[in-house]
Amino acid sequence: MSPSPHTPPAAAEPCSHCSSDALMDNAPAQRPVAGAPGAARGTVFRIATMDCAAEESEIRHAVAGVSGLLGLQFQLGARTVAIDAAPAVMPQVLAAIRGAGFDPQPLAPEEAQAHAHGHLPGAEGLARLGLALGLAVAAELLAFLAPDQRVFQVAGMALAAVAIGLAGFSTYRKGLAALGRGRLNINALMTVAVTGAFVIGQWPEAAMVMALYAIAELIEARSVDRARNAIKGLLDLAPDTAELRQPDGTWQPVAAAAVEPGAVVRIRPGARVPLDGVVIAGASAVNQASVTGESMPVDKAAGDTLFAGTINDTGTLEMRVTATASNTTLARIIHAVEQAQASRAPTQQLVDQFAAIYTPVVFALAVAVAVLTPWLMDVAWLEALYKALVLLVIACPCALVIATPVTVVSGLAAAARRGILIKGGVYLETAHQLKAIALDKTGTITEGRPRLVATEVLPQEGSTSVPEAQVLRWAVDLAGHSDHPVSRAIAQGLATAQAAPAGGALEAFTALPGRGVQARIAGQALVLGNHRLIEERGLCNADIEVRLAAHEAQGRTVTLLATDTAVLAVFAVADTIKDSSREALATLHAMGVASVMLTGDNQVTARTIAAQAGLDEVQGNLLPQDKLAAIEALQARHGLTAMVGDGINDAPALARADIGIAMGAAGTDTAMEAADVVIMNDDLRRIPQLIRLSRRTRAVLWQNIALALGIKLVFLGLALFNGASMWMAVFADMGASLIVVFNGLRMLRAVDEAPAK
């Protein structure tokens, strides 16, 4: 069955959630998402009345018996489901979904992209609910004010029936389908309760309950969508068009989605970057807060990476595109958050299991009240039935079931805004239990690139002494002609310090593998190399040995500049510790989390870095399999352990750790795929923020569960002792839902502090 263009109804019904066993199903295996992020395998259908986990559960139950169904992939925010099934099986799948009270409509791929987020009721839907409420009020007024005559009773009954039809058509359709399959969800409970109230002559109250329920559901759906779509704003960050360089050298605006990797685009000052790419011309400061969470603009020049959705502040940049619009870092972030929103956190699983027992028990209690109290307590049959109907409305586990996902989704969105990409609610919820964190050294604790940290021009004797400025010029000239990382660090460090202006031309430049380089400058023979080279030239002495030993004890790499007769200068290069790393490790220590460095570097360098950074423990000379074994040992000794890394060699340890955390900016694709959390700006201070966010999430989760259960228990007691009406029941049910939703939305605010600068 191939999708056909379809325009969905303008007014989508609000969520009617809270199946008694929402999300408890063993769903058919979902196929890997193919192609661009967010692309689904199979035919995409839009279901206007599906936007929460309970509806997903209903659909999964409905299709569970269809053989040949390969997988379902839900995007609740978009109200879409991708059905992966053979063409011959598709009609059976669709029939089963329609039998559950849903109306799947096929979408073409471009329409599926356009419906990336849900659509709440428009003007037509709001007008319909407003009319339903007005008719319900009119029915109430007739019952209260009009004479007790048949004509007014019939008029009131008619008004109530129309109001129930306007407000509750979708509820009735899904409720009857659920009852037909022997399932007790909110739609089934409301269908029984409202119908029963109407039958026993309480039609004004039945109409008002249904109208208020529908309006409260609308308010709640909007609130839930705010949490679910908190990340949606990122979609609007990347512009729809890009200035593309044409073959004749001119620039022309084109759709960003049509730009292929390798093309060159121009970004003007103040404009947003349309795609991922690498700067090939120009220099500017770029605000990357939308992707990395960094509050300060980052300087960009030729060779630097740009992310789609970031803002070019000052100068014009030309960029070579490296990814299509559907595969940018921004698109992958959004897709990862959407996937994480679809996963269940541990508390959510616990709540779902409780709800699966709770609703049938209360339903049975309501039946017992209706049947037994007239016999045992001499209560009138109509009064007993009314009390049972009130219990049915209160019985809905709406607030309880929705308490967890809205909180988790808000927490995931809050983390993403701070450049912390969490791939599932389970990691958000369990991060507060971390007892130890293992960290790679290079690129994680340190900058990941060598820098010149010390320069010593040695004293010279005699008339042949060379001025210090000349020594540094020679060093810059020699280092600048080498492609070795240490030489580049020396050249860049001296140039940055403005200690060495441009020198003369080099003659007979020669690389000495494993030792350094040599050349002649203005007739002077020079070498720039390591300790071994100087020893081979017979230029080492006790003073130089002492200097070298002092630097090597600090984990530095030492390079020496020498003539044929003497050493002129010593340059120490090291991979320096990030300032943010020291602060992050100190914070983790204060939080009671042990920090351990696992590195392939030598033990001397590792110990030096560990002491400077404030780590609790260090292990050096580790191969990838050694890091894996170290993680297992830490888990046995401390308990829940995280691994932080950025390289391919860290991937096994990242996958084995309870929570794998990858550095996103400098990390490899392999490391980021293996990790459960990605820090987009490589700032270790995000890890304490993650733990704080996890602690706050857990606190809000249990607050919501306590509120939902507490309110239910109070009104259940009132209903049993004639202290609650259907009005009170619907307000208690939806009021509890709104309270837990708004409490969960607090997670969207700052954790404890602004993002680290």
Which sequence positions are flagged as catalytic?
A: 440
Residue 678 and residue 646 in contact, taking contact as beta carbons nearer than 8 Å? no
Interatomic CA distance for residues 216 and 468, integer angstroms: 79
Beta strands in 488-556 (DSSP E): 506-512, 516-521, 524-529
The 3-state DSSP class for residue 482 equals coil
Nearest to 22 by CA among 57, 71, 72, 67: 57
Residue 213 token pair? 């329920």
Interatomic CA distance for residues 80 and 657, integer angstroms: 34
Nearest to 575 by CA among 544, 546, 602, 538: 602
Residue 388 and residue 366 in contact, taking contact as beta carbons nearer than 8 Å? yes
Annotate 551-569 with DSSP letters as a single string.
Answer: HHTTT-EEEEEE-SS-EEE
Q: How far is CA 534 from CA 452, 461, 517, 565, in A?
A: 20, 19, 12, 11
Nearest to 333 by CA among 277, 273, 292: 292
Residue 47 and residue 93 in contact, taking contact as beta carbons nearer than 8 Å? no
Beta strands in 97-150 (DSSP E): 105-106
Nearest to 362 by CA among 747, 745, 125, 716: 716
Residue at token pair 């969490």: 422
- Phi–psi pair at 451, nearest 5 degrees: -135, 150
Residue at token pair 């109907």: 389
The 3-state DSSP class for residue 351 equals helix
Residue 608 token pair? 């030096």
The 3-state DSSP class for residue 422 equals strand
> 203-228 and 398-417 helices cross at what angle (nearest 10)?
20
Residue 568 and residue 562 in contact, taking contact as beta carbons nearer than 8 Å? yes
Strand partners, 644: 439, 661
Nearest to 30 by CA among 339, 412, 379: 339
**Amino acid identity for residue 101 in this structure:** G
> Diameter of the chain by CA atoms?
126
Residue 106 and residue 82 in contact, taking contact as beta carbons nearer than 8 Å? no
Residue 632 token pair? 């297992």
Q: Which helix (H) or strand (E) holds 644?
A: strand 641-645
Interatomic CA distance for residues 642 and 428, integer angstroms: 13
Residue 114 class from Cβ within 10 Å (0-12 exposed, 13-18 middle, 19+ buried)? exposed
Count of beta carbons in the 10 Å neighbourhood of residue 725: 18
